[in-house]
Amino acid sequence: MNQTEPKILVTGFGPFAATDDNPSAVVAELLGWPFAVLPVSYEEVDDWHESNLQEPPEVLVHLGYAKRLRITPERVAKNQIGSSPDVHGFCKPGPISGLGADLVGNLWQVALRRSFIEGITEWSDDAGDYLCNYIYYQSLRRLPHCRVGFIHLPGFDVIPRETTVTEIRNLILQSL
């Protein structure tokens, strides 16, 4: 890593459905970089992009919770919203933008070559079709000069909090 670390911003999501204590919000705060916890809302994600990214960071890492067994860095953001409503009941299934294409994350090139803690982390090309995929897609589309990545986290009952924080921090640092 360089002596001068780039400006890093990490986001996590707040509660949704039956997930009152979203692991992504907890980890975003514990990583030690500037962070934001966003409501699980399409409109509020759009508002966040508009109001808080006038001076975007050099590196933007979004975290989200998924019922998975591993920490899952996502390589691809799909141009698609599914049929699950956000916390305000809003949903408009279909393409996110008229671009038509999925977008490939631009943060993980170096990290793709690193070895992970055995059995804890695996790469994914499916960020889903909910808010996690939406924020990833919108950040890649709206911030072309920012290095953007997305990581899905399992619950702390699957991988302990301290292990999750350590692995996420190492993944980000090795991607710089």
Q: What confidence score (pLDDT) does residue 113 get?
A: 58
Domain assignment of residue 2, yes or no? no
The answer to whether position 166 is within a domain reads yes
Would you mind telling me the total number of residues written for the chain in this entry?
176
Residue 1 inside a domain? The answer is no
Q: How far apart are CA 129 and CA 126, in angstroms?
A: 8
Query: Using CA atoms in the order 116, 119, 124, 130, what is the torsion angle rounded to 10 degrees?
Result: -120
How high does pLDDT run on average in the chain?
Answer: 90
Task: Tell me the CA distances in angstroms from 38 to 64, 87, 94, one per residue in order.
Answer: 10, 11, 22
Q: Residue 93 domain-assigned?
A: yes
More confident residue, 127 or 111: 127
Q: Full-prediction pTM beyond 0.85? A: yes
Name the token pair of 96.
Answer: 């996110």
Q: Is the pLDDT of residue 2 over 60?
A: no
Phi, psi dihedrals of residue 70, rounded to the nearest 5°: -140, 160
Confidence class for position 1, pLDDT limits 50, 70, 90: very low
What is the rounded CA–CA span in Å between residue 2 and residue 136? 26
- Its domain, for residue 133, covers 8-173
CATH code for position 77: 3.40.630.20
For the chain, the domain total comes to: 1
Q: Are 31 and 8 in contact (CB under 8 A)?
A: no
**Single-letter residue type at 118:** E
As given in the structure block, the two tokens for residue 121 are 């982390």
- Classify each residue of 65-100 as buried b or exposed e, where b means 16 or more C-beta atoms within 10 Å of its C-beta: bbeeebbbbbbbbbbbbeeebbbeeeeeeeebeeee
Is 118 a domain residue? yes
Any domain includes 90: yes
